[in-house]
Amino acid sequence: MDIRLLQKERMLLEDQKNHEQICIEKYKNYASQASDPQLKQIFTANGQGEQEHLNSINQLLGGRLPQTGQQGQNSAQSQPQSAGQVKQASPAAVKSDKEMCTDMLMTEKYVSGTYNTAVFEFQDTRVRDVLNHIQKEEQKHGEAIFQYMHSKGMYQPQ
């Protein structure tokens, strides 16, 4: 189904595309650095979700409406690089599991907020629905990190 984007809508999608690309790289790097296998799995799964979001944004930019109900079913196919191609960080750049979680939780909060703003700027309800769907998934990524941190005593809500 074809969609037509206004200039402002296109600019907002380009911003979201950049955010998703950064999230993908961070999750790949952090998955390779995490010491806890459970955290590696969370980072890997969230990174796959971010790749699906990027695919959806690219479809929107191409004038096509993505099928959000099918996200998550073919995440293995959407990963362009294998884990072996991830750059290894220098020892000085390696962060603790807590630092990586804190960074990604902050990142997810920010990205979720930018999707919230974008939702209100689009004229096409179908595109708004896609962006809202992605935003909810971003919140789930943040929730997974929060739950992990809370279970490990890294984050204590007051």
Please list the residues that pair with 64 across neighbouring strands. Answer: 2
Residue 114 CA from chain centroid, whole number: 12
pLDDT for the residue 134? 97
User: DSSP letters of 82-144?
Assistant: -GGGSPPPPGGG---HHHHHHHHHHHHHHHHHHHHHHHHH-S-HHHHHHHHHHHHHHHHHHHH
**Under a CB-based contact definition with an 8 Å cutoff, are residues 26 and 51 in contact?**
no
User: Residue 87: is its pLDDT beyond 60?
Assistant: no
Structural domain spans, the chain: 7-65+94-151
The average confidence (pLDDT) of the chain is 87
State the amino acid at position 70 in one-letter form: Q
Neighbouring residues of 39: CB distance < 8 A, sequence distance ≥ 6: 97, 100, 101, 148
- 33 vs 36: CA distance, rounded Å: 9
- 44 vs 83: CA distance, rounded Å: 9
pLDDT for the residue 99? 96
User: Residue 74: is its pLDDT beyond 50?
Assistant: no
Choice between 47 and 68, residue whose per-residue pLDDT is larger: 47
pLDDT for the residue 77? 33
Please list the residues that pair with 46 across neighbouring strands. Answer: none
Superfamily the domain 7-65+94-151 falls into: Ferritin, core subunit, four-helix bundle (1.20.1260.10)
User: Residue 71: is its pLDDT beyond 80?
Assistant: no
User: Residue 72: is its pLDDT beyond 90?
Assistant: no
